[in-house]
Amino acid sequence: MRTALAIARKELSIYFTTPWAYAVFTAMVALSSFFFMGLLQSFQQAQEWAQAVGWNKLPPDLGAYRNLTDGVIVQLWGIVLIVTLFVAPFLSMRLFAEEKRNKTFELLMTTPVRPIELVLGKYLGGLGIISATLGLTILFPLILTAFGKSTSGAVLEWPTVLLGYGAVLLWGATCMAVGMFISSLTESQMVAALLTFVVLLPWMLLRGLAQGVEEPLRSFVNYMAFDSQLQNLIMGVLDLKALVFFFSVILFSLLLTHRSVEAQRWA
Amino acid sequence: MAMIEVQNLTKRYRDRSAIEGLTFSVNEGEILGFLGPNGAGKSTTMKILTGFLPPSMGTAKVAGFDVFEQPLEVKRRIGYLPETPPLYPEMTVRGYLKFVAELKRVPGRGLKAEVNRVSGLAGLSDIMDRVIQNLSKGYKQRVGIAQALLGSPPVLILDEPTEGLDPSQRADVRSLIKELAGKHTLILSTHILPEVTMTCEKVLIINQGKMVAYDEIKKLTSVHGQAENVSLEEIFIKLTAA
C-alpha cells in the first residue's frame, strides 16, 4: 500500500509541477463561471416576471426558478457534468500512456511493484487531480449563500446542493476510471484522450438511442445511460441504484486496467 | 553458485526471432560483458531477465527464482538500467531517487541515507535539487545508474551504462563498475569493446539473436588469434561478420 501511495503522490506532484493542472483548473472555472452568470441572469429575469404577474400566470417550466437551489445550483451541476465530460479525458490521458512513451513504464514493471498497487496508485492520483478540479465548483454555492437573499428561510437547501456536488465528484471519478483504462491501452496521449471522449459521450447520451428500440432492451439502454443515472442524484434524490451503478463502472474499469497491465507480462 | 541461469532462451515476434536458444550462466560476484552489434538482441535478453518481457521459450532464473513464475522475487533482487534511462523529466533528482527507493521498498527510515549513498556513488551530490529535464545527457545517464543501485540489489543489469558519457565520465563509470564487482553480480551490455576488456572477466557475444561466443576474455583471445596480442575488436568483427 505504501508503494501505491508513493505512485499517487508522484502522479500529483507531476500534475502540479507542469502547467497542465493549472490550465485545466482555469478552463473549468472559466467555463462554469460563464454558465453560472447565465443562470443567474435567467433566474433574475424569471423572478422579475413573477413579481409583475405572479407565479400562477407564468409557464410551468419556469417553476424551477422559484428558489436558488433548483433555479441555479441544480442546473449548474448539470452543466458541470457536461464540462467534466470534456475535461476529464485530458486529465486521465497521461496516466499510463505517458509512462509508456517515456519508457518509465519499464521502471514500474521491473521494480517489485504489484500490478494492483500500480493501478490503485495511479487511480488515487487521478482521483486527487479530478477532485481538485471539480472541487473548485463548490465556490458557486458558497458565493450564493454569501450574497443571495431569500424571503423564506435559508438561501440554499444545502442537503440538495451537497448531494448534487457528490454526484458531480462521483461522475468525475467514473470518467477517470474509464479514461485510465483507455490510457493503459496506448502509448499516445492524444489517442487516449480522444478515445475516452468517444466512449464517454455516447454513453452519456445513450437515452436518445432508447427511443428507437423495443421494450426489454429499451429499459436496459435507459438504465445504462449515464445521464439517466445522474438525473436523480443532482436533483438531490439519494438514489442507491445509481450509486451501485457508478461504483460498478469504476470497479469494472479498475479490473480491466489491472488486466491490461498484467497483459504486459504475456506480450 | 550460479546467480543467473539462462536455459535455451528464445523470444519471437510473430515470424521474426529476436533471440534464439541462448544458454549461459553467471556466478555470484561475476561480471559478464554482453556484446553484439546493434539489434543483436542484447536489450531483449535484458528485458526478459528483469521480468519486463516474457520469453517465448526457455527459462531464466535469478537467484534460483524463475523470472516468469516468481517475478516479484526476481524484481526484488535486480537493479536495472534500461537502454533509455527511465526518468521523469519534471522531477528533481532527489525526488526521483526517493520515489524509486519507495518503489523498491527501501524502509522509510533508511531511505534518505540510501538516496545519499547512491548519489555519492554515481557522482550526483551536486545536482540533487535540479530538475531532470535540464540535465545533460551524461548526468541523466548517471541518474539512471544511481536508480539501479538503490536498495543495493545483489544483481545489476546495466544496458549500455556508458552511453552518452564523455571519456572522463566513462572512466568514472568503469571504476564504479569495478568497485561494484564482487559485491554484486553484473551483466553489462555495450558495443564499446575496450570497455569490456577493462571491466569484465567473461564475455558473451551475440549476433542476430544467436550466441556466437561465450568464454573468458583470455581464452577467446587465445582461441581466435594467431598472434599473441589480437584484440577483442578483431574477434568481434570476425564473429559477427556472418
pLDDT digits (tens, 9 = 90+) for B209-223: 888 888 887 777 777
Read off the pLDDT of residues A94-120 as tens digits, 9 standing for 90 and up.
999 999 999 999 999 999 999 999 999
pLDDT band at A189 (very low <50, low <70, confident <90, very high): very high
pTM of the predicted structure, to 2 decimals: 0.90
Give the pLDDT confidence score for residue B242 in this predicted structure: 60
Quote the pLDDT of residue B176. Answer: 85
State residue B226's pLDDT score. Answer: 55
Residue B173 cell numbers, joined? 563509470
* pLDDT range class, residue B197, cuts 50, 70, 90: confident
Q: Over pLDDT 90: what percentage of chain B? A: 46
- Record: contact B103-A104, CB cut-off 8 A: no
What SS3 class is residue A239?
coil
- Is the Cα torsion angle A135, A141, A145, A148 positive or negative in sign? positive
Which chain B residue is nearest to residue A10, measuring alpha carbons?
A: B99
B229 pLDDT higher than 70 = no
Distance between B148 CA and the closest CA of chain A, angstroms: 10
pLDDT digits (tens, 9 = 90+) for A115-172: 999 999 999 999 999 999 999 899 999 988 888 777 777 778 888 899 999 999 999 9
pLDDT band at B128 (very low <50, low <70, confident <90, very high): very high
- Which residues of B fall within a CB distance of 8 Å from A265? 51, 54, 68, 71
Is A6 a residue whose pLDDT tops 90?
Answer: yes
Output the average pLDDT for chain B.
Answer: 87
| Any A CB within 8 A of B50 CB | yes
Interchain contact B69–A (C-beta under 8 A): no
Kindly tell me if the per-residue pLDDT of A51 is higher than 80.
yes
Gyration radius of chain B's alpha carbons: 18
Contact status of B87 with chain A (Cβ, < 8 Å): yes
**CB-based contact B91 A13, cutoff 8 Å:** yes
In this predicted structure, what is the pLDDT of residue A266? Answer: 73
HEC-encoded secondary structure of chain B:
CEEEEEEEEEEEECCEEEEEEEEEEEECCCEEEEECCCCCCHHHHHHHHCCCCCCCEEEEEECCEECCCCHHHHHHCEEEECCCCCCCCCCEHHHHHHHHHHHCCCCHHHHHHHHHHHHHHCCCHHHCCCEHHHCCHHHHHHHHHHHHHCCCCCEEEEECCCCCCCHHHHHHHHHHHHHHECCEEEEEEECCHHHHHHHCCEEEEEECCEEEEEEEHHHHHHHHCCCCCCCHHHHHHHHHCC
Q: Is there a contact between B87 and A104 if contact means CB atoms under 8 Å apart? A: yes
The answer to whether residues B157 and B49 touch, using CB atoms and an 8 Å cutoff, is yes
Nearest chain B CA: its distance from A121 CA (Å): 11
Tell me: the pLDDT tens digits for B10-37?
999 888 888 988 999 999 888 898 888 8
Verify whether the Cβ–Cβ distance B103 to A266 is below 8 Å.
no
Chain A hits for B72, Cβ within 8 Å: 112, 114
Contact A253, A175 (CB under 8 A): no
Shortest Cα–Cα distance, B8 to chain A (Å)? 18
**How close does chain A come to B9, measured CA to CA in Å?**
15
